[in-house]
Structure 1
Amino acid sequence: MTTLDTTPPPEAAGGGITVADLRIGLTARPDVDVVDDIDLVLRPGEVVGLVGESGSGKTTVGTSLLGYTRAGAMIERGKVLFEDSDVLALPWQQVRRLRGEEIAYVPQDPASALNPSIRIGRQIVELMELRGLGTAESRLQGARDGLAEVGLPNDDEFLRRYAHQLSGGQVQRVALAMAFLPKPKVLVLDEPTTGLDVTTQGMVLQTMGELCRSHGVAALYVTHDLAVVANIADRVAVMYAGQVAEIGDRDTIFAHPSHPYTRALLDSIPHLRQARALSGIPGRTPAPGSRPGGCRFHDRCAFAVEACAEQEPELRERGPGHEVRCLRAGEIGDWDISLGTVPDADPQRAREVILDIADLGVSYGRTQVVFDVGFDVARAEVVALVGESGSGKTTISRCVGGLHKEWTGTIGFEGRPLGHGSRKRSAADRKRIQYIFQNPYLSLNPRLTVEQIVKRPMELFGIASGTEATDRVAELLEQVALGPAVMRYQTNRLSGGERQRVAIARALAAEPDLLVCDEITSALDVSVQGSIVALLDELRRTRGISMLFVTHNLALVRSIAARVQILSAGRVVESGPVADVMDNPREDYTQRLLANSPRID
């Protein structure tokens, strides 16, 4: 990905916003903190990345800059200093005026910030009316200028569109345009590129970086993706369990991380230049009220000693502008970015083809979206489908999984043609090809227990029932590193990564030969992504399962797949062994995808 110019403008010497000794607790349990001991300084023209796993308190800190906490939480102490005023001490009327005008917020899901029943142009004009910006005559031109500034069309046709008529990247840039129109001095960006393809993500990041630096805006970029932060942030703060574990300038954090947690996160990230044996971080981030004593990370830390469980560390200076909350920060040696690298998959090994696709054309009604696609998948092999949103990769995977039936050409499984749609396939074929969906929050029935969810395919395909099925569920949950303790849980008690593991266990319950994985790690923490990729690779090696892996993450492809198909506008534009395609891309489209992929190596 093209690294942005991260030099703050000359005016960055003063202004910005400062968070001092912030503590946010639970209203029902005043002794329990959500975040604690938070000190941050955001300077004009500077982007500070706030990173960590889900549950670390990142969003809580971000929204506190606007004087806001979610229901059930309260600000117990601390200051948010903005232009010589403490935002937390101001009357609510003044705080309300600050929000949006002086301190703006861009949410993770920009679609939720736009009214689906109002045209884009009218929404922007309405914002300017609400904020008293411009005159009645000049507001429409202001809307056009705002859209142009974020690289969007500003003609009448675009202004007449509704939010659902825009792509994800366009919606995100409309949200950015609306955030920048009042010319705020501080911007809080809450995971604004999660789920976007790499090209769209690259455009959005480029736009954000340029706007923040050209307007002298102090920005806090909240995310779980360290590779993105490496390409946009000037400084990085790493959070764990409600506290800042490490903070420093970008180059120091990525070249010389000193906290074991920062290192563990970096070790979970795939690299574009070399395959890695990915692994997650054992355990999970503790919730407020269940955090261990001493160092909050010690029960997951490979470097912990007895003192770590007894003494709570403070942030200590490791170098100029570099602070670490770790008792052993000076004792654990240097970090190696090459840790965990492995040889690329061998494309010359003998291949026993299990899935063969030829001349595939796919339509939605009268509109054809996939054209003449052909490739194959061998036993115990992972083939990746990669491309931008709308390239056809999920459509192809749905045809293979029997979820879409309007296609031409042939899809062969072990030399036999598959029917168009699951209803025209045998029970044996439906059993042997299992689909894992992108969103585990929607793909699992919230009314059923984990045991009932995983047991269902066994009963449906006559594999096992009763006690035998229950025992098999326990075995599968062990295989996906959950354990039988979650069998009685409903899915609302599980994190996103744990739900995705349940979805994998459900697919494995059918004893499949082919898994179709549709963007199954796109919204997960990098540590959870690492553990799931490690799990899938173990299944491939030990059980000989083949996989069709749909993703827009090219670095992840390097670590999991043997072959890759690059898709654009419904056509395969480049294909071959992963190492060949990524090291020597021939097509401009592939080169652009690689250039826009965030990287730390």
Structure 2
Amino acid sequence: MMGSLFAKTMAKPAAGLGAAKPTSAGIAVRQLTINTTDGGVPIVRGISFTVAPGSILGLVGESGSGKTTAGLALLGYARSGLKIAGGSVSIGGVSMLDLPERELVAMRGREITYVPQDPATALHPGLRLRTQMAECLRQPSGAREQALHGMLQDVGLPDPARILASYPHELSGGQQQRIAIAMAFAAKPQAIVMDEPTTALDVTTQTRVLQLVRALAQQHRTAVVYVSHDLAVIASLADQVAVMYSGEIVESGTAAQVIGRRLHPYTHALLRAVPDPDRALWLEGLPGQAPDPAQRPPGCVFAPRCGLAEPACTTQSPDPVLAEPDHMVRCFRAGSLHIAAPRLLPAVPRPAQPVSPLLRLTAVQAWHGRKVLHDIALDIAPGRATAIVGESGSGKTTLVRCIAGLHSAWTGEIALAGQPLATKAKARPLEQLRRIQYVFQNPYASLNPRQTIGQSLLVAARHLRRGERISRNETLAVLASVGLPAAVIDALPGQLSGGQRQRAAIARGLICQPELLICDEVTSALDVSIQATVIELLTRLQAERGLTILFVAHNIGLVRSLAQDIVVMQAGQLVESGETQTVLSAPIAAETIRLMRSAPRFGAAAQDEFHDGAALDASGMEAKPLRG
């Protein structure tokens, strides 16, 4: 039978997802449509939502869902190759899309501002911050110094004289992001669009930034649209949530409704991919990928990836329906979704007999002009995944770069299987270079943009496995082992998605047949579904190959779902280490406790009762369907 009784009898048709009473302040979007300029392919299709003054809307979805394109349209802007083809956008009661260009430009920065993911794109590298921040103020010149100090005080940055006299590169990433946020709020705009502003920040800095955004939005009565792929972040910040897929909003409502009583299978799939800092979950990546906008399937756009899809889902497009007050969903099977408890990962026991460490660090110290690592002593067990965590500046990346020979200003001893390693990679024999492979945060650091993926893999293998014949079939087998199709072998990096590029970078390391794979923040820029797929991949490779993994991360939840062992760093020192579940369940060091407290959680929104009144019991095993 097509659809559920719930969807047919209890739901009410809605003009558009997120539709709400008109407001003369804040943000009001009605049937916004954005097309390509050549061919008129819709990228964003008829989305609607409102955000009241002082309220925050979380706009979530995978890469390519259209959320950033929609966010930029609130400023009356469409990137090259796109055009705003229909609908309306009202900011503080002003219709943005009807303004002449000069008035539209004046609205930007005064009534609506934008905070990008990378603060470096918002700050001029050649100007001191005093000059840049003063441009955002409306006060007369005589009152600007006091206003500048007030801006820094609002975002919790001490020593204003030093900050104002600095260039952007003299501040940390977290400090730069807080400056960008201060500049966005400085003019007390009606609305702000924030595009993934905490993605690359460590958990403690991320927590401070989120608290700051919440406080400033309420203090200045500013409506905020917060674009993100991280539902845990959205749960801790947003009042409302709108979930986008293939240019449509497929579910929207309050944070408690969308996260605690999700009705759309896509929302559910995103939540199953989010790690939990308090439990080692089996993360489930979403199979397949969103369709190309020019080749969307007929019917429901999510049907090809949906486990609940029926034949009619492939021919009819579901209209948005009101499932309960303020909770809207675009799905025929909305009342059929089972919310099952997530699977827990089984514990990986240590070997019964002590084993020699694969890697041993003794009294390691390192410098970046000043000393940044202090007497690090560490053993890395073979065949296990060890996470290195800590806030930005703790020294974790410097440590693994010393291990790989990419940072040479260090002393002490690093030994691989009992053999000391030279400080510089170029001074190490090829066999040692082969046994340690490094996967960078940005896959372009591992892949030549002008070489095909197959060529990049062959260059690495032929250099480090001299004398061996590397066949095309072996290259294809390695690509298959990381879940990439054979066609990728002839593709350039720029032709792949972010997740595919990162898997190709891992394949480049694997073809060298390493014993130790160093993964440096390899998932920090990926959306949650692709992130879960990469973690699944690393877990499988560790089990199949007996691979030893060093995993640098700031996401405690990811660490809990991947690593058997953990090392916590602070200010260049090792402050706590041990088995991951033991350390994170009963942390001792103050820094570990702080990292755990700062980790984003679903909180009250995730614990909200399901639509039929059933909630998880103490064991978390309740899995009843929504009543229909």
Classify the TM-score, shorter chain. Answer: over 0.9
Q: 1: CA distance between counterparts of 2:595 and 2:557?
A: 11
Given the alignment, which residue of 347, 368, 377 partners 1:364?
Answer: 368
Given the alignment, which residue of 402, 405, 425 partners 1:402?
Answer: 405
Given the alignment, which residue of 172, 180, 183 partners 1:178?
Answer: 183
After TM superposition, list the pairs within 5 Å mapping 1:443-592 onto structure 2.
Answer: 443-462=446-465, 468-592=470-594
User: 1:600 deviation in Å?
Assistant: 2.1
Given the alignment, which residue of 64, 77, 93 partners 2:73?
Answer: 64
Match of 2:102 in 1: 93
* Secondary structure, aligned partner of 2:135: helix
Q: 2: CA distance between counterparts of 1:350 and 1:256?
A: 47
Change (3 A) 1:84 1:395: closer
Given the alignment, which residue of 341, 346, 370 partners 1:343?
Answer: 346
Q: 1: CA distance between counterparts of 2:136 and 2:596?
A: 37
* Secondary structure, aligned partner of 1:409: strand
User: 1:150 deviation in Å?
Assistant: 1.0
1:52 and 2:55 matched: no
User: 1:495 deviation in Å?
Assistant: 0.9
Q: 2: CA distance between counterparts of 1:344 and 1:203?
A: 33
User: 1:238 deviation in Å?
Assistant: 0.6
With normalisation by structure 2, the TM-score equals 0.90
Identity over aligned pairs, percent: 44
* Secondary structure, aligned partner of 1:487: helix
Q: 2: CA distance between counterparts of 1:414 and 1:490?
A: 36
Return the letter of the residue paired with 1:361: Q
User: 1:154 deviation in Å?
Assistant: 5.0
User: 1:577 deviation in Å?
Assistant: 0.9
User: 1:184 deviation in Å?
Assistant: 0.4
Q: 2: CA distance between counterparts of 1:243 and 1:161?
A: 43
Return the letter of the residue paired with 1:488: D
Q: 1: CA distance between counterparts of 2:186 and 2:159?
A: 14
* Secondary structure, aligned partner of 2:274: coil
Contact 2:246 2:291 in 1 (8 A): yes
Given the alignment, which residue of 424, 427, 430 partners 1:427?
Answer: 430
Match of 2:16 in 1: none
User: 1:364 deviation in Å?
Assistant: 2.6
Q: 2: CA distance between counterparts of 1:553 and 1:23?
A: 35
Contact 1:49 1:220 in 2 (8 A): yes
Given the alignment, which residue of 135, 140, 145 partners 1:135?
Answer: 140
Match of 2:292 in 1: 287
1:414 and 2:408 matched: no
Match of 2:321 in 1: 316
Match of 1:22 in 2: 32
Match of 2:389 in 1: 386
Return the letter of the residue paired with 2:519: C
Match of 2:91 in 1: 82
Match of 1:8 in 2: none
With normalisation by structure 1, the TM-score equals 0.94
* Secondary structure, aligned partner of 2:142: coil
Return the letter of the residue paired with 1:478: A
* Secondary structure, aligned partner of 1:448: coil
Q: Deviations over 1:134-158 (max 9, x none)?
A: 1121112111111111111253222
Q: Deviations over 1:101-139 (max 9, x none)?
A: 1111111111111111111112112333xxxx1112111
Return the letter of the residue paired with 2:39: R
Match of 2:255 in 1: 250
Q: Which ranges in structure 2 are unaligned for 5 or more consecutive residues?
A: 1-21, 604-628
User: 1:76 deviation in Å?
Assistant: 1.1
Return the letter of the residue paired with 1:63: L
Match of 2:445 in 1: 442
* Secondary structure, aligned partner of 1:434: strand
Contact 2:207 2:599 in 1 (8 A): yes
User: 1:83 deviation in Å?
Assistant: 3.7
Which stretch shifts more, 45-54 or 90-99? Answer: 90-99
* Secondary structure, aligned partner of 2:177: helix
* Secondary structure, aligned partner of 1:371: strand
Q: 1: CA distance between counterparts of 2:347 and 2:270?
A: 22
Q: 2: CA distance between counterparts of 1:142 and 1:154?
A: 15
* Secondary structure, aligned partner of 1:81: strand
Q: Deviations over 1:445-499 (max 9, x none)?
A: 0100011011122211236777x52111111111111111111111110111100
Contact 2:25 2:93 in 1 (8 A): no
Q: 1: CA distance between counterparts of 2:240 and 2:206?
A: 20
* Secondary structure, aligned partner of 2:535: helix
Return the letter of the residue paired with 1:597: A
Q: Deviations over 1:388-417 (max 9, x none)?
A: 111110011011112122222221111222
Change (3 A) 1:401 1:137: same
Q: Which ranges in structure 1 are unaligned for 5 or more consecutive residues?
A: 1-11
Q: 2: CA distance between counterparts of 1:551 and 1:107?
A: 22
Q: Deviations over 1:344-391 (max 9, x none)?
A: 4435654532111121111234x2110111222222100110001111
User: 1:343 deviation in Å?
Assistant: 3.0
Number of aligned pairs?
581
User: 1:81 deviation in Å?
Assistant: 2.1
Contact 2:28 2:91 in 1 (8 A): yes
Given the alignment, which residue of 106, 113, 123 partners 2:122?
Answer: 113
Return the letter of the residue paired with 2:438: Y
Q: 1: CA distance between counterparts of 2:84 and 2:352?
A: 60
Which stretch shifts more, 299-308 or 390-399? Answer: 299-308
Contact 1:14 1:43 in 2 (8 A): no
